[in-house]
């Protein structure tokens, strides 16, 4: 009945109201005296809603599916067990982990007993589901155990291109990414992409999702030449399937622009950056995180091209929007503050940069702690440089020394950011000596200049 429908061009609320609810009523009325058939059809509809990103709308249907299957088939029937596992996963998708995780665990235990430990699709599906739940709540070891067992079992009984095999490999890739084992994550994701292309084709939605994951990983490990064509392919498929007005399309445009910028292809990146911003503003609103990210990226393109007034305008707009959307204490807001302050300093407005960075640094000291302390130190380093620009040498020295200590500990003394901070200290001492000749402030300059390299 739904095989020919193209959901990607229809608003989801319209689908839910005019198609799915009518279908649900028709199923309940037509198959009122056939509960098993009704459960099967309602389950199919619940899966469709979940795949469209509507778990809240799917839950009521799936609860009814579980109720019907339990009443008609009992708790130990394979279809009942799979329905319970899906309901648990939906609960977890909506943050109701206290209800969802026990249900998924119960389903897995029941299926293991039913199958006597044999390798079967149901067990593999539930292992993947439970692993995803555990990873979402930070239990990396538990997730790793589930994903590893799922992949091992899949290798014994399922084809290499089977959807559940590929799901397990994708899960393992996500896990490796979270563990920081990025090259391992890339290798796994390459297998996922190859498998989805073979089984689904290059233009399938699932293939596009796998391609996007791989492109992001390649970008993260610095393999930009390999990431670029994959981001282009994702953009091509999203445009074909979703159109230019769908929120995911400007996201792809933005990703491509960032890659081109990192590759130094500024003329090319200058095209996607404004297109991504305009598409995001039109489809999502001016204060949506994607729109503001695109505006920030456009500022970076302008800055690297030497178009500083345009860069400042973009950075300022991004910061104002992030303050409204996320508040002053959000990490994205703090990073946008640093971007704007940096271009203000490049334009000679050190006083304005100090005004921005002094209050932001106080907030950042409580946001970026522990392993993120070097991020806070980078802001301190910028603040110290701005304070040098306004002649506040003592305050600048204090902030730069603290920044250098944090950077050297977190990144090491030879890291470019650490060396840059050392250069800022050398410049401060030289400027201080010039402002107060003979006071001895310049004595430390040469040592810091040597550390800067």
Q: Would you state the structure tokens that stand for residue 260, as one six-digit string? A: 């081109």
109 and 124 in one domain? no
95 and 38 in one domain? yes
Stretch 340-354: mean pLDDT, rounded? Answer: 94
Stretch 31-38: mean pLDDT, rounded? Answer: 87
Tokens 């130990």 belong to residue: 76
Which pLDDT value is given to residue 67?
A: 94
Q: Which one of 202, 221, 243 terminates a domain?
A: 243
- Banded model confidence at residue 286, pLDDT cuts 50, 70, 90: low
87 and 50 in one domain? yes
Domain that holds residue 369: 362-453
Which pLDDT value is given to residue 332?
A: 84
- Residue 198 scores a pLDDT above 50: yes
Burial class from Cβ neighbours inside 10 Å (0-12, 13-18, 19+) for residue 440 reads exposed
Query: What's the farthest any 2 CA atoms get from each other in the chain?
Result: 98
Which pLDDT value is given to residue 140?
A: 86
- Residue 172 counted as domain residue: yes
201 and 87 in one domain? no
66 and 136 in one domain? no
What are φ and ψ of residue 356, in 5° steps?
A: -70, -45
- Residue-wise pLDDT for 163-186, tens only, equals 889 999 999 998 888 888 899 999
Stretch 389-398: mean pLDDT, rounded? Answer: 95
Stretch 247-271: mean pLDDT, rounded? Answer: 72
Give the whole-number percent of the chain exceeding pLDDT 90: 38
Stretch 296-306: mean pLDDT, rounded? Answer: 75
Which pLDDT value is given to residue 290?
A: 62
- Residue-wise pLDDT for 38-60, tens only, equals 899 888 888 887 876 678 888 98
Greatest mean pLDDT range, 19-23, 33-37, 419-423: 419-423
What are φ and ψ of residue 305, in 5° steps?
A: -90, 0
Q: Which one of 190, 221, 243 terminates a domain?
A: 243
CATH number of the domain within which 132 lies: 1.25.40.10
Give the whole-number percent of the chain exceeding pLDDT 70: 87
- Banded model confidence at residue 14, pLDDT cuts 50, 70, 90: very low
Count of structural domains, the chain:
3
- Residue 221 scores a pLDDT above 80: yes
- Residue 2 scores a pLDDT above 70: no
First to last CA, the chain: 69
- Residue 270 counted as domain residue: no
- Banded model confidence at residue 220, pLDDT cuts 50, 70, 90: confident
Which pLDDT value is given to residue 277?
A: 47
225 and 153 in one domain? yes
Stretch 201-229: mean pLDDT, rounded? Answer: 89
174 and 60 in one domain? no
Which pLDDT value is given to residue 24?
A: 72
Tokens 């590893």 belong to residue: 148
- Residue 312 counted as domain residue: no
163 and 98 in one domain? no
- Residue 342 scores a pLDDT above 50: yes
pTM of this prediction?
0.57
- Residue 356 counted as domain residue: no
Nearby residues of 221 by Cβ (< 8 Å), 6 or more positions away: 182, 183, 186
> Residue 41 in contact with residue 27, Cβ under 8 Å?
yes
- Residue 320 counted as domain residue: no
Q: Which one of 113, 147, 176 terminates a domain?
A: 113
Which pLDDT value is given to residue 235?
A: 84
379 and 449 in one domain? yes
Nearby residues of 288 by Cβ (< 8 Å), 6 or more positions away: 247, 280, 325
- Residue 77 scores a pLDDT above 70: yes
Give the DSSP letter of residue 244: T
143 and 64 in one domain? no
> 21 or 270: whose pLDDT is higher?
21
134 and 96 in one domain? no
- Residue-wise pLDDT for 400-412, tens only, equals 999 999 999 988 9
Stretch 187-197: mean pLDDT, rounded? Answer: 94
- Residue 328 counted as domain residue: no
- Residue 15 scores a pLDDT above 60: no
125 and 72 in one domain? no
**Residues written for the chain:** 453
- Among the residue ranges 120-134, 290-304, 371-385, 387-401, the one predicted with the least confidence is 290-304
- Residue 11 counted as domain residue: yes
Closest residue by Cα to residue 352 from 377, 319, 304, 325: 319
Stretch 180-207: mean pLDDT, rounded? Answer: 90
Which pLDDT value is given to residue 288?
A: 64
- Residue 44 counted as domain residue: yes
Closest residue by Cα to residue 111 from 127, 97, 123: 123
- Residue 257 scores a pLDDT above 80: no
């Amino acid at each position: 009945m739904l095989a020919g429908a193209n959901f990607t061009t229809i608003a989801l609320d319209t689908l839910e109201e005019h198609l799915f609810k009518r279908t649900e009523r028709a199923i309940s009325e037509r198959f009122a005296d056939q509960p098993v058939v009704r459960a099967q059809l309602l389950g199919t509809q619940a899966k469709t809603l979940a795949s469209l990103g509507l778990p809240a709308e799917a839950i009521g249907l799936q609860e009814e599916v579980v109720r019907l299957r339990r009443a008609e088939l009992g708790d130990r029937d394979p279809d009942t067990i799979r329905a319970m596992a899906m309901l648990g996963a939906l609960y977890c998708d909506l943050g109701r982990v206290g209800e969802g995780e026990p249900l998924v665990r119960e389903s897995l235990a029941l299926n293991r007993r039913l199958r006597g430990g044999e390798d079967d699709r149901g067990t593999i599906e539930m292992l993947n589901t439970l692993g995803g739940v555990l990873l979402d709540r930070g239990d990396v070891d538990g997730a790793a155990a589930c994903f590893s067992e799922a992949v091992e079992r899949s290798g014994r009984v399922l084809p290499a291109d089977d959807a559940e095999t590929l799901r397990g490999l994708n899960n393992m890739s996500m896990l490796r990414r979270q563990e920081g084992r990025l090259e391992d994550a890339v290798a796994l994701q390459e297998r996922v992409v190859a498998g989805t292309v073979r089984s689904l084709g290059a233009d399938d939605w699932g293939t596009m999702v796998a391609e996007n994951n791989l492109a992001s990983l390649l970008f993260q490990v610095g393999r930009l030449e390999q990431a670029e064509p994959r981001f282009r392919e994702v953009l091509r498929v999203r445009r074909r399937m979703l159109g230019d007005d769908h929120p995911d399309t400007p996201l792809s445009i933005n990703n491509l622009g960032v890659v081109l910028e990192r590759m130094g292809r500024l003329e090319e990146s200058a095209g996607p950056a404004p297109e991504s911003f305009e598409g995001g503003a039109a489809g999502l609103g001016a204060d949506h995180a994607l729109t503001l990210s695109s505006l920030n990226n456009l500022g970076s393109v302008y800055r690297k091209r030497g178009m500083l007034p345009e860069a400042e305008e973009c950075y300022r707009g991004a910061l104002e929007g992030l303050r409204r959307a996320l508040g002053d204490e959000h990490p994205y807001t703090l990073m946008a503050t640093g971007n704007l302050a940096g271009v203000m300093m490049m334009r000679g407005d050190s006083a304005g940069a100090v005004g921005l960075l002094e209050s932001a640094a106080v907030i950042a000291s409580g946001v970026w702690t522990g392993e993120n302390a070097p991020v806070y130190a980078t802001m301190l380093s910028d603040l110290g440089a701005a304070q040098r620009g306004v002649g506040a040498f003592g305050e600048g020295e204090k902030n730069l020394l603290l920044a250098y200590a944090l950077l050297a500990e977190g990144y090491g003394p030879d890291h470019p950011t650490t060396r840059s901070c050392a250069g800022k200290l050398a410049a401060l001492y030289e400027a201080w000596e010039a402002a107060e000749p003979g006071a001895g402030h310049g004595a430390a300059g040469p040592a810091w200049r040597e550390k800067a390299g």
